[in-house]
Amino acid sequence: MVYNLGSTNSIFNQFLSEIRSESMQTDQLRFRRNMERLGEIFAYEISKKLTFEEREIVSPLGVSEMKLIKEFPILATILRAGLPLHQGLLNYFDKSNSAFISAYRRHHKNGRFDIELEYTSCPNITNKILILADPMLATGASMEITYKSLLQFGKPKHTHIVAAIASLEGINFIKRKLNMNKVSVWVGAIDDELTAQSYIVPGLGDAGDLAYGEKLQLS
């Protein structure tokens, strides 16, 4: 199942438009906050798919029966670009444990690149709900590799993949490569085009650089 939050009218699209806007991307603080806001809205929508149970809540004047989340999901994100989106998810799923994955593109002179994973910190995810977030789902290759690397820490009950913007090619790749009975994909927009360097068009650019500043590329 693929859920495209940007396809319906809501305040979500205001925040998405601002992270896309070239004129607003010069403000790193606003970019990070808007990405965080998207994470909060994703968290709210995903929460509707979780399991709830009734609990008694004692107020100063009595007892209220309320339906609360039975078990909070594990939140995983790809460093560094995923941190603001992760924070938004964590703001709402504030009882969740977190996993972090260091993954990046190693570019070659011919324009091709490999996905390199250097570090993973993850709790036991066996039979847990996992939310795996990365701002951009371009080719889908890094998401597939990251997801499969997390399986060494257990097999989750279900995984929700979250991306602010995805390409159509990336969505189709995930559908082919992952078990969609066990995976849901949540996006803010699906763009049609990828460049020769596998950047989404119109996309928004490099989310990590826009959030934290340009990085030096070493050969």
List, for residues 138-197, the tens digit of each pLDDT value. Answer: 999 889 999 999 999 999 999 999 999 999 999 999 999 999 999 999 999 999 999 877
The answer to whether residue 218 sits within a structural domain is no
**Per-residue pLDDT averaged across 26-43, rounded?**
97
> What is the spatial distance between Cα 2 and Cα 56, in angstroms, rounded to a whole number?
35
Mean pLDDT of 15-40: 97
Task: Decide if 219 is inside a domain.
Answer: no
In a domain, 103, yes or no: yes
219 pLDDT higher than 60: no
Give pLDDT, residue 104: 67
pLDDT of residue 110: 60
pLDDT confidence of residue 187: 98
Q: Could you please report the per-residue DSSP string of 76-124?
A: EEEETTTHHHHHHHHHHSTT--EEEEEEEEEE-TTS-EEEEEEEEE---
**Quick check: 5 pLDDT over 70?**
yes
pLDDT tens track for 106-138: 655 665 666 677 788 999 999 999 999 999 999
d(CA 131, CA 184): 9
Number of domains present in the structure of the chain:
1
Contacts of 101 (CB under 8 A, 6+ apart): 76, 77, 78, 79, 117, 119, 120, 121, 122, 146, 149, 150
Q: Give the pLDDT score at 189.
A: 98
Global pTM value: 0.92
Q: Does 27 map to a domain?
A: yes
Please, what is the average pLDDT of the chain? 92
- Range of the structural domain that residue 177 is part of: 2-212
pLDDT value of residue 79: 85
pLDDT confidence of residue 103: 72
Domain-embedded: residue 20: yes
Domain CATH code at residue 80:
3.40.50.2020
Which position has the higher pLDDT, 39 or 111? 39
Question: Does residue 217 form part of some domain?
Answer: no
Per-residue pLDDT tens for 52-85?
999 999 999 999 999 999 999 999 999 888 999 9
Note the pLDDT of residue 59: 96
13 lies in some domain: yes
